[in-house]
Every structure is written in C-alpha cells, then in structure tokens.
Amino acid sequence: MYKKLYFMMFNRMTDAVNALKEGRSDDALQTLQGAQKEAEWIFVESGEESK
C-alpha cells in the first residue's frame, strides 16, 4: 500500500510542479488537493490505521 501511495504522490507532485512552471497555479493546487484526498482514501480503505 505504501508503495502505491508513494508512486501516486510522486507522480501528482511532478504534475503540480510542471503546472507551476507553466504558470498554472490553480491547476497545481487542484492536483495537490486531489492527490491528498486520493491518498487519504487509499489509506483508509486499506485498513492500515487499525493495525
């Protein structure tokens, strides 16, 4: 699960950095917020918090 989270976050952060470099700060913010929500969902669904 952590490997999946790592790669997902790494890819989304790369997308956000590219958006910032292109002057698309709103897109970068949306990308990061979406990644945060997805990571939280993956973590909760995995049941890791109860271990």
Q: Please tell me the predicted confidence (pLDDT) of residue 27.
A: 98
Q: What's this model's pTM, rounded to 2 decimal places?
A: 0.80
What tokens does 14 get?
């790369």
The amino acid occupying position 40 is E
Mean pLDDT value across residues 19-48? 95
Q: CB neighbours of 20 closer than 8 A, spacing ≥ 6?
A: 28
Q: Please tell me the predicted confidence (pLDDT) of residue 47.
A: 85
Q: Give the HSE-up count for residue 4: Cα atoms under 13 Å, Cβ half-sphere.
A: 9
